[in-house]
Structure 1
Amino acid sequence: MVKISLNENVSKLKEKSKAKNTQDKYQGDWLKFIDYCKNKYNCNPLDVDDLDSAYALTANYMDWLHEDPEAKILKGTSNIPGKEKLNNNPYSSSPYKASTIQRILASITYKYRLNGFQFDRKNPNIAETISAIVRNEKNSRSGQAKELLKADIIKIIDSIPNDGEDFSNIRDKALILIGFYSFCRRSELLGMNFEHLNFANDGVQVLIPFSKTDQTGEGRMIFLPATKDAYCPVKALNDWLEIAMIERGPLFYKINKSNTIEKYTLNYKNQKISLNDSSFVLILKKRAFAAGLDDCDKISGHSLRIGSITQARMNGVPTHEIMAQSGHKTTQMIDKYTKLSNIRETSAAKKI
């Protein structure tokens, strides 16, 4: 019997089979796992005696990420050389989500396999630990983020003062109405550029060049209708573009306490900086609270998207049309995003 191992070049080629962003995430997750092993067990994860020890070490790490307050210190930090001081995670003070822990497990599995371990995520120690973490998360939160339906959007817009001197009033109307009518993820909404807009008499076509489920940049077109009422996303957008004098680059920017639109601030790549995730959520919560809505603490960056999808389904819009606007690839994800919280209004028994 002759045992042949992969040479170093083949191992490097295997790593390059993943997209650059995926490689970075895998490497970052693995480096944090190494730190955990050194701090807790004074060893490198590749130094374990056997596969069972690797499973036990990984399961213990998953549990630590989920339960231990110390684990939150790792969030928003990076162990990748050159990125140690970067923190782009607005939720770095909150516990790890089950979905994030599952991604970290994928990273660890990949690295173990790359180093010759026959690591299987279906091992009982691993599978049962992950299952328990997912179940705990579902039990700890009653549903997803609060959905903002059309009635809620109307209340929020009505509560925003018609004060043209305060630029945040004009921006927030556009931000909320476009977020609702676009069905977009918050990253897609905040990533919209003026160059992505195509104006017509009946509305605006918007190019979404990249998304969570479109990593190759195939892109999709969505449509913002000109509703021609007080809640028209097109009018709100035009009002904001005019007052902010936006003719290129990101659509939405931070407005400081001096009522100055910070559209000339540049990042390290010399690019204009759009409004960030955490600011968007704070704006949404602030406006919902001012409108007198309940459960504002449950509002998140998903609330507009969940609300518009739910409203569309309540109004009988075909699922395939919702998917074309929202960018979802499967009907199962549409079902997951739909929240029918008012059983009296949505009961099927009333429609037969």
Structure 2
Amino acid sequence: MADANAGLPAHIERLADRARSYVEAASSANTRRAYASDWKHFSAWCQRSNLSPLPPDPQIIGLYITALASGTAERNPKSNSVSTIERRLSSLSWNYAQRGTPLNRKDRHIATVLAGIRNTHGAPPRQKEAVLPEHLIAMLETLDRGTLRGIRDRTMLLIGFAGGLRRSEIVGLDCGRDQTEDGHGWVEILDKGLLVTLRGKTGWREVEIGRGSSDVTCPLVAVETWIKFARIERGPLFRRVRGQGKDVGPDRLNDREVARLVKKVALAAGVRPDLTENERAEKFSGHSLRAGLASSAEADERYIQKQLGHASAEMTRKYQRRRDRFRVNLTKAAGL
């Protein structure tokens, strides 16, 4: 493939390269992978259906989302959930926009079909299981405190839970400000706790993680212990452990490692023994830590909302698996 910048002055080439880096920075790596995967899925369906993915044709998109809902878009019949269909549609919109050929999602071939799919197949969202404090303590006990991997994993679980952090926010942390280009925040160790500065979905925010009541479950102690034994002075906070667990490398952990860790230790600790192994793997994820804090912290809702970085209290309530839903009784308030 020919270089799109061929023949351009050197300073313009540099600007073009910088512009591409800004385009990449506009969305997370996970989002870009999902966009690419969804475009590949759509293109494969078009090829099997003897259709062309370009230029955008609302009628073809309407047929595609119909195939997704009816389970005929795959080689092996499998119907997609409404949320998956909406995500794939958003991915197509993004991909078309990047090609300079916007997709009109309000066209009746798309909007009317999607409305019918929502009415026919819509279902309440399936939430991830919350990791509650008693679960977390049991999960921590399954990790070896005498190994680098065990120390690191304990630290990620504790800071993820106490900070109400997303998995990408956990692995995106650096030891200090402006230390890496791919970092999404940094930690500051203070006397009373950790001050975590994050660049999340809603912009920059500060998260205060106070000292725990015990050193065993204290996020601050865990971070100090990890930094000391991993001999990390700057750069990514959470890194790969290599050399049969005796050495810490320079590379930042992938955020999927957080989800794998939560699933693994929840299974090892016997959390939710009523579930099968496969069900537990489906129920627990990195989001389980955020849901656990939201569900168990005995604090005013606005503080929980701030910690999780939510724009609305309604979103925070969706994370609260355990709360008094009838604290405000409008029946009695109305005089009945």
Whether these two folds match at TM > 0.5 is yes
In 1: Cα distance, 2:229 partner to 2:119 partner: 46
Q: Are residues 231 and 44 of structure 1, via their aligned partners in 2, closer, same or farther at CA, if it must alter by over 3 Å? A: closer
- From 65, 68, 74, give the equivalent of 1:62: 65
SS in 2 for 1:255: strand
Q: Does 1:211 align with 2:200?
A: yes
In 2: Cα distance, 1:159 partner to 1:27 partner: 37
Instruction: Please show how residues 215-226 of structure 1 align to structure 2 within 5 Å.
Output: 219-226=204-211
Task: Name 1:145's counterpart in structure 2.
Answer: 128
> Offset at 1:242?
0.8
- From 16, 40, 43, give the equivalent of 2:52: 43
> Offset at 1:261?
3.6
- Decide whether the 8 Å contact of 2:35 with 2:91 is kept in 1: no
Task: Name 1:253's counterpart in structure 2.
Answer: 239
> Offset at 1:308?
0.9
Task: Name 2:94's counterpart in structure 1.
Answer: 107
In 2: Cα distance, 1:111 partner to 1:308 partner: 38
* Larger fraction in strand: 2
Task: Name 1:327's counterpart in structure 2.
Answer: 309
Q: Are residues 284 and 35 of structure 1, via their aligned partners in 2, closer, same or farther at CA, if it must alter by over 3 Å? A: closer
Q: Are residues 320 and 110 of structure 1, via their aligned partners in 2, closer, same or farther at CA, if it must alter by over 3 Å? A: same
Q: Size of the alignment, in residue pairs?
A: 282
In 1: Cα distance, 2:224 partner to 2:60 partner: 56
Task: Name 1:276's counterpart in structure 2.
Answer: 254
Among all aligned residue pairs of Structure 1 and Structure 2, give the percentage whose two residues are the same amino acid: 23
SS in 2 for 1:146: coil
SS in 1 for 2:136: helix
* TM, length-normalised to structure 2: 0.70
In 1: Cα distance, 2:246 partner to 2:112 partner: 52
Q: Does 1:200 align with 2:190?
A: yes
- Decide whether the 8 Å contact of 1:171 with 1:240 is kept in 2: yes
Q: Does 1:191 align with 2:177?
A: no
Instruction: Please show how residues 169-184 of structure 1 align to structure 2 within 5 Å.
Output: 169-184=150-165
Deviating 4+ runs (over 3 angstroms)? 21-39, 42-45, 63-72, 108-112, 114-117, 124-128, 133-139, 345-352
CA deviation map 1:60-104 (0-9, x unaligned) = 2224456333599xxxxxxxxxxxxxxxxxxxxxx9834522422
- Decide whether the 8 Å contact of 1:62 with 1:130 is kept in 2: no
Task: Name 1:87's counterpart in structure 2.
Answer: none
CA deviation map 1:292-325 (0-9, x unaligned) = 112432111211011111222xx2x223212221
In 2: Cα distance, 1:155 partner to 1:116 partner: 51
In 1: Cα distance, 2:41 partner to 2:74 partner: 16
* More displaced stretch, 280-289 vs 96-105: 96-105
Any unmatched runs of 5+ in structure 2?
1-18, 177-185
In 1: Cα distance, 2:227 partner to 2:98 partner: 47
In 1: Cα distance, 2:191 partner to 2:287 partner: 30
Any unmatched runs of 5+ in structure 1?
1-15, 48-53, 73-94, 265-272
